[in-house]
Amino acid sequence: MQNQEQNLHDSSQMPDWQGHGGHELFDAEEALSTLTGGMEQYLLFEQHIQDPELKTMLEQHKAFLTQTYNTIVETLQTGQKPTVDTQVYNMTQSNNVTYGLQPSQPTTPAQSVNEINDQCVSGYMMSVLKAGATTFTTTALETTNPVLRRVFADSVPNMVEMAYEVFLYQNKNQYYQVPQLKQADMQAIINGFAPIQGNMPH
């Protein structure tokens, strides 16, 4: 029993760089690998972009994700507050969404590199950001080092913001159409919940 107790350590007894659990390191490695893969995919996508607006967005994402990557790596290696704190990404798209479906031709996967266009690239960017948001969230939920946990948690809203910016761009260009339910069905769902009455628990 005494030997087992000797294997247990409080985080305050360890150097900062050792204050990581095994599970968290696996999650952090996966999150960083996902981010690395996404950044490399952005490099591949860039050459296929025709629209200057999409090219500017991709370049802004790349620069922001590069700083995010550096902040995470530094925090992982030191266990300390990073030199550059987690930044806040501010998108440039307006929040206007076009609802409804326009008739369009059925799509098929591209059969040659020449068919890769802005619609394809914006879809790839969305996939990269969704994967990043998912792995960063999972990692933040189970990270023991408080500084690293905060860096991952604070980075999730930035991934969400970038993905929403891509969605708005896609919607504006009719790459991502947004169908709506009939008004009666919409109202039934919206009004399907009611607030709790009475005193809220303290």
Quick one: pLDDT at residue 6? Answer: 52
- Residue 27 covered by a domain: yes
Is 110 inside a domain boundary? no
pLDDT in 10s for each residue of the chain, 202 residues: 555 555 555 555 555 556 778 888 999 999 999 999 999 999 999 999 999 999 999 999 999 999 999 999 999 999 899 999 999 999 988 899 999 998 888 889 999 999 999 999 999 999 999 999 999 999 999 999 999 999 999 999 999 999 999 999 999 999 999 999 999 999 999 999 999 988 777 6
Residue 1 lies in a domain: no
In a domain, 101, yes or no: no
In the chain, how many H helices and how many E strands? Answer: 6, 0
The closest of 198, 22, 176, 3 to 100, measured between CA atoms, is 176
Angle at 103 between CA 97 and CA 107, to 5 degrees: 95
The domain in which residue 63 lies consists of 18-92+116-190
- Half-sphere exposure at residue 90, Cβ-oriented, CA atoms within 13 angstroms: 0
User: In whole angstroms, what is the distance from residue 118 CA to residue 59 CA?
Assistant: 14
Specify if 198 maps to a domain.
Answer: no
For residue 18, the model assigns a pLDDT of 61
Q: For residue 197, is it within any domain? A: no
Q: Is 98 a domain residue? A: no
pTM of the entire predicted model? 0.87
- Total domains, the chain: 1
DSSP β-bridge partners for residue 100: 178
